[in-house]
Structures are given as structure tokens and as C-alpha cells.
């Protein structure tokens, strides 16, 4: 493992400049961020915290009590992996404090998604978000307060930038959104041990990476650690990696992370407009790891929680609701 990858596995907080420098091929480490020894991983290459009280973990216990031992054993493929915490409600602090306390106890890094931008999801399945500018400022302030000095990774506002690029978020909200995203990046990056990745959609959504460059810059990507791709989607590792490298090149070598939680079979080939919403026949993808084999990819992460519904389509419950049957299908089909 390279020196950079070892640092990333340890804390996922060391600031890096560009892709690589010098003959060693290792990124330059910014002064003031010394190496820290890596904690033993929960799985090969993973420094992230596994929530022992996740929906999947609780479901395993329920099925074991019901005598569904085979199903419980299969579902452990999800329950035993680190999955992002999506704090909900007007006060995200209780969920965050619980996670950072658990992660600190285990010597791990907590993984979060900040998802509360005003006018969220264009009023669709995941509609909602903070009440205006001041409401969002208060919310991301509480988010940062709860993390404090803990080791954490934050994926910031899935869909928020891409929805401006594709026109779903109307133009009258753009200036406000850019301002709030840039403020949130800057505020979270004041935390000493937190890495921030601004969401940038996926290759099937905004095929032309050049269309994302200026929007990401306005949203604060230059102060973030990088960008996130494929959040809640099913694009293959190969296509996401190629897309991410192209976008990184346009962003002066910014690093990125990939959501691999449900992309083991790739995207649904038909019903394009609803291919992202609880598609049948999908499976778990590459397990969470910082051993990515690519200097630009900081980690494979399970950002969307495998088993949470995408919305009330194909018989699913409301967006974000635990759906054990769908989770079981993802786990059964998993090849890794």
C-alpha cells in the first residue's frame, strides 16, 4: 500500500494536493497533516465504522429469532459492512453524535451524508430540505458541531449540483443553492479531521463532464477534498471510474469517491426514466474500501444504504424507508 493510501486508510483526513508529485508517484502532503497510524480495518482496506444497530443488523436479529437463519446469514453481507449515516430531521446532532461515539470507541472513521438542501429533489420522492437560507445554515452548523474533532467523511448534498445542471432545480434557486453549498463545504472543512466530497451525479445523468465543471466550482469544489459519484445509482465501477477520471482532469486533479453499494449488476437496461428507482435484479457491488487501485479514487463507499427504498415505485415504500425484501435480493445476488 502506498504512503498516501496508508494515510487515507488511517483517517481519511490528510489533505493532498493534485494527483501525484515527484518520482515516487505519491501525492504531496500539505504541511500540518502528519501521518497517523492506521486502525485495524473492519474489512480489507476499510477504516470505516460499522453500525451495530443498523436496519440490516436489526433485521438479522429478527430473522434469526423467527428461524429464518439462512436469510439472516445472507443479510449479514450488508449488516457487516460500513454504510453511510443520513441524519434526518431538523436537528442532525443526535444521530451524528451516536455515530461518532461508536466510531471513536472502535477506532474507526464515521461516514455521513448531508442531505437537507432547500428545495431538495425538485419536490420529487425525496422532497423536503431545510426551510430557507437561515434554516440550512443552522442545520449544517449543527451537523459540524456534532462531528467536532472526530474522524469523519461527509458526502455533501446528493443531486444538488446535477439538478441545477439538468434544469430540474429552477433557475430562481440556483444562486442561493450555490452559495449554501459553498458555505457548507467551507464550514465543514474547518473541522480538523473531516473530509468533504461534493456530489457530482453519475455518468448516465450528465454525460458531458465539462457541463459540471463550472457548477462544481461555484458550489465550492476547490475547497472540498473532492467529489462523489454514483450516489444512490447503479452505474458500473468501470463506467464511473472512467467518468470520474475525466471530471478529475477538468478539476485540476481533484480526487473522488464512488458509491458501489448496489451496482453489482450495473443499471437496468430498460425503463430508462425509472431505471434508478428500485430496479429489480440488482446486487451489492464492490465492498467499501480505500484500496481502489487508482490514485484518484479515494474510496469505494456504500453511500446509499442497501435496502433503503428509492421511493414508492415497483411496490417499494417511501424514499429512505428500510425494505428488507429488496435488501435480501441485493445480498443474495452479491458476487463479492
pLDDT tens per residue, range 189-222: 999 999 999 999 999 999 999 999 999 999 999 9
What pLDDT shows up at residue 44?
A: 58
pLDDT band at 43 (very low <50, low <70, confident <90, very high): low
Contacts of 39 (CB under 8 A, 6+ apart): 10, 47, 106, 107, 108
**What span, in angstroms and rounded, lies between the C-alpha atoms of 39 and 268?**
38
> Mean pLDDT over all residues of the chain?
88
Contacts of 42 (CB under 8 A, 6+ apart): 48, 49, 50, 80, 81, 82, 106, 108
Eight-class DSSP state of 109: B
Helices marked H in the chain — which ranges? 3-11, 55-65, 69-79, 93-106, 132-147, 160-165, 174-188, 210-218, 237-250, 324-332
Least trusted range by pLDDT, from 44-58, 104-118, 145-159, 219-233: 44-58
pLDDT band at 233 (very low <50, low <70, confident <90, very high): very high
What pLDDT shows up at residue 272?
A: 66
pLDDT in tens, 234-255: 999 999 999 999 999 999 999 9
The answer, yes or no, to whether residue 7 has pLDDT greater than 70, is: no
Contacts of 291 (CB under 8 A, 6+ apart): 1, 5, 9, 44, 45
Query: Are the C-beta atoms of residues 243 and 203 closer than 8 Å to each other?
Result: yes
pLDDT in tens, 265-308: 999 987 566 889 999 999 999 999 999 999 999 999 999 999 99
Eight-class DSSP state of 206: S
The answer, yes or no, to whether residue 16 has pLDDT greater than 60, is: no
Residue 328 three-state SS: helix
Residue from 315, 319, 306, 318 nearest 59 by CA = 306
What pLDDT shows up at residue 285?
A: 98
Residue from 63, 80, 84 nearest 72 by CA = 63
Eight-class DSSP state of 196: E
Eight-class DSSP state of 193: T
Least trusted range by pLDDT, from 2-6, 21-25, 174-178, 327-331: 21-25
pLDDT in tens, 120-132: 988 888 888 999 9
Residues with a catalytic annotation lie at 121, 159, 310
What pLDDT shows up at residue 270?
A: 76
Amino acid at each position: 500500500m502506498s504512503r498516501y493510501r496508508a494515510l487515507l486508510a488511517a483517517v481519511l483526513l490528510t489533505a493532498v494536493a493534485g494527483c501525484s508529485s515527484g518520482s515516487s508517484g505519491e501525492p504531496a502532503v500539505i504541511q500540518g497533516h502528519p501521518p497517523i497510524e492506521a486502525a485495524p480495518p473492519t474489512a480489507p482496506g476499510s477504516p470505516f465504522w460499522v453500525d451495530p444497530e443498523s436496519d440490516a443488523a436489526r433485521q438479522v436479529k429478527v430473522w434469526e429469532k423467527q428461524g429464518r437463519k439462512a436469510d439472516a446469514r445472507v443479510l449479514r453481507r450488508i449488516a457487516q459492512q460500513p454504510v453511510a449515516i443520513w441524519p434526518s430531521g431538523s436537528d442532525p446532532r443526535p444521530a451524528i453524535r451516536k455515530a461518532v461515539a461508536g466510531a471513536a470507541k472502535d477506532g474507526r472513521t464515521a461516514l455521513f451524508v448531508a442531505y437537507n438542501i432547500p428545495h431538495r429533489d425538485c419536490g420529487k420522492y425525496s422532497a423536503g430540505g431545510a426551510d430557507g437560507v437561515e434554516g440550512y445554515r443552522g442545520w449544517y452548523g449543527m451537523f459540524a458541531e456534532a462531528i467536532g474533532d472526530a474522524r469523519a467523511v461527509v458526502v455533501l448534498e446528493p443531486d444538488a449540483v446535477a439538478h441545477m445542471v439538468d434544469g430540474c432545480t429552477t433557475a430562481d434557486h440556483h444562486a442561493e443553492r450555490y452559495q449554501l453549498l459553498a458555505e457548507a463545504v467551507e464550514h465543514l472543512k474547518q473541522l480538523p479531521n473531516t473530509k468533504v466530497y461534493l456530489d457530482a451525479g453519475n455518468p448516465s445523468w450528465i454525460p458531458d463532464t465539462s457541463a459540471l465543471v463550472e457548477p462544481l466550482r461555484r458550489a465550492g469544489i476547490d475547497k472540498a477534498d473532492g467529489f462523489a459519484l454514483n450516489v444512490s445509482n447503479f452505474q458500473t465501477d468501470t463506467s464511473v471510474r472512467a467518468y470520474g477520471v475525466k471530471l478529475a482532469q477538468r478539476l485540476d486533479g481533484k480526487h473522488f469517491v464512488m458509491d458501489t453499494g448496489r451496482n453489482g449488476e450495473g443499471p437496468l437496461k430498460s425503463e430508462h426514466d425509472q431505471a434508478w428507482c428500485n430496479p429489480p435484479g440488482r446486487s451489492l457491488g464492490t465492498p467499501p474500501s480505500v484500496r481502489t487501485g487508482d490514485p484518484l479514487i479515494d474510496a469505494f463507499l456504500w453511500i446509499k444504504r442497501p435496502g433503503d427504498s428509492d421511493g414508492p415505485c415497483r411496490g417499494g415504500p417511501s424514499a429512505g424507508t428500510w425494505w428488507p425484501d429488496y435488501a435480501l435480493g441485493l445480498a443474495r445476488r452479491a458476487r463479492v
